[in-house]
């Protein structure tokens, strides 16, 4: 039996950018605790670490995330966008 997990547009939702432009609690965002204000400090720390690591590797945060995914096994297929 095979299973598939799909990440919901992390690049499109500005998850990896330094300053998300829309942080209002829309009907969709209310269902995802990771984007609530109470978690924003931890999220900013994670994003800062991601950007620092990418800078050290001389690539973008998105490129680093995709490279990491590609090392997770032959059954992982990144779909950027």
pLDDT of residue 37: 74
Rounded Cα gap, residues 81 and 48, in angstroms: 21
Q: Average pLDDT of 52-75? A: 93
Query: Residue 79 and residue 49: Cα distance in Å, rounded?
Result: 23
pLDDT at residue number 50: 93
Mean pLDDT of 58-79: 90
Residue entry with tokens 């490129």? 63
Q: Under a CB-based contact definition with an 8 Å cutoff, are residues 56 and 49 in contact?
A: no
* Structure tokens, 72: 């997770």
Reduce the DSSP state of residue 37 to 3 states and report it: helix
| Whole-number pLDDT of residue 54 | 96
* Residue position matching structure tokens 């995330």: 65
DSSP state of 49: H
Per-residue pLDDT at 35 exceeds 60: yes
């Amino acid at each position: 039996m095979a299973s598939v997990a799909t990440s919901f547009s992390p690049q499109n939702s500005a998850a990896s950018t330094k300053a998300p432009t829309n942080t209002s609690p829309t009907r969709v965002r209310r269902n995802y605790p990771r984007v609530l204000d109470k978690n924003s400090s931890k999220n900013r720390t994670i994003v800062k670490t991601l950007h620092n690591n990418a800078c050290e590797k001389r690539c973008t945060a998105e490129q680093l995330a995709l490279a990491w995914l590609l090392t997770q096994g032959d059954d992982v297929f990144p779909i950027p966008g």
